[in-house]
Amino acid sequence: MILSDTISMEKIEKYMSITQEARSKATPSTANSEDENRLRSMLRMCDDYIADAKHFAKQGDLVSSFGAINYAHAWLDAAVKIGLMDGHGDDRLFTLP
């Protein structure tokens, strides 16, 4: 296996695709309005970081874009990990509880 220390547009597009897949796959599993509010906040952070990643990529700042898309995915992963979302057993997209 060859490891690369280069951030390319292709790598960013790959991670954006994985994050978008995770965003579409995970479904809410909230138990009350407080959980719903927490999840809404987490998903807003995810969506904001996705938007940031796209913005940075468009500006040619691939390092910031790569960081932002990974933060976006982390918000989703955290929501699944703490039980606010169901990752439907997908251990490729999520760190399951």
Model confidence over 64-74: pLDDT tens digits? 999 999 999 99
Does a structural domain hold residue 22?
no
DSSP state of 88: T
Does a structural domain hold residue 52?
yes
Q: How many domains does the chain have?
A: 1
CATH number of the structural domain spanning residue 57 = 1.20.1270
Domain carrying residue 52: 36-97
Record the tokens describing residue 60, joined without a space: 């040619």
The Cα-based distances of 9 to 63, 74, 92 in angstroms read: 10, 20, 22
Question: What is d(CA 73, CA 79) in angstroms, rounded to the nearest whole number?
Answer: 10
CA geometry: angle 84, 90, 96, nearest 5 deg: 50
Does a structural domain hold residue 10?
no
Whether this model's pTM surpasses 0.75: yes
pLDDT in tens, 37-82: 999 999 999 999 999 999 999 999 999 999 999 999 999 999 999 9
Does a structural domain hold residue 15?
no
